[in-house]
Amino acid sequence: MRLAQKVPDMPRDIPVGNGRLLVTFDHQYQIRDVYYPHVGQENHAGAGPCRFGVYTDVPGKGTEKLSWTNN
């Protein structure tokens, strides 16, 4: 029998919420937690990171490969 390892609670870099919905992002801007309609109860994001995308004219960029520059 394999025992599940407890993952320590990690602080999230960007929490975004309004009292009924809370979405937290990690240091690579991947969605880690989604709570709705009761913040702090069931985490709808599951066990791993969720990736999301934003349409731009630069193909193939994901949040894990972002590099920020000031022009």
Q: Where are the domains of the chain?
A: 11-62
pLDDT score recorded for residue 30: 86
Q: Model pTM?
A: 0.61
pLDDT bucket at 61, cuts 50 / 70 / 90: low
Q: Quote the mean pLDDT of the chain.
A: 76
- Mean pLDDT of the region 53-67: 64
Question: Measuring CA to CA, how many Å separate 62 from each of 25, 52, 53, 56, 65?
Answer: 14, 8, 7, 11, 6
**Tens digits of residue pLDDT in 2-36:** 555 555 566 678 899 998 999 998 888 889 999 99
Beta bridge partners of 26: none
